[in-house]
Amino acid sequence: MADYTVLIVGDADRWWTSMSLAERKDGYAQYERFGEALAAGGHRVVGGAELTRSSQSRSIPAGGGPVTEGPYAETAEQVGGYYQIETDDLDGLLECCQIIAETGDGVEVRPNVDPADRPS
């Protein structure tokens, strides 16, 4: 089995600032559908979380320095959450991720580094 991280990318704050309660409920229903599709496809969720608003983040610049409030870079898109998925079927996982994309969020799927590939 291979391990993948599914990053949810977009305007994460829109879920809290510009979406009505009904729109948020519909969006969360899509994420429930995503979880059901993963299970049906034999993919295993081994971790993940929805992140809070980007305004609650704290950043430290590369090389060190003062801690600042908010995201390090001013961008329209931020990571709003992630899933850790264990699967042997990357194509099937990518097909399931289309469900998330239907919410208006982008998705990045990246393989995790196998600990055996790291130098000791």
User: Total domain count for the chain?
Assistant: 1
Distance of CA 76 to the CA centre of its chain: 16
Whether 32 is in a domain gets the answer yes
Question: Where does the pLDDT of residue 3 fall: very low under 50, low under 70, confident under 90, or very high at 90 and above?
Answer: very high
Whether 64 is in a domain gets the answer no
Cα distance between residue 20 and residue 14, in whole Å = 10
Mean pLDDT of the chain: 90
Whether 21 is in a domain gets the answer yes
Whether 70 is in a domain gets the answer no
Full residue range of the structural domain in which residue 83 is found: 2-54+75-112
Q: What is the CATH number of the domain that holds 97?
A: 3.30.70.1060
Question: Where does the pLDDT of residue 58 fall: very low under 50, low under 70, confident under 90, or very high at 90 and above?
Answer: confident
**pTM across the whole model:** 0.86
Is 71 a residue whose pLDDT tops 80?
Answer: no
Whether 18 is in a domain gets the answer yes
Q: What is the pLDDT of residues 25-49, one digit of tens each?
A: 999 999 999 999 999 999 999 999 9
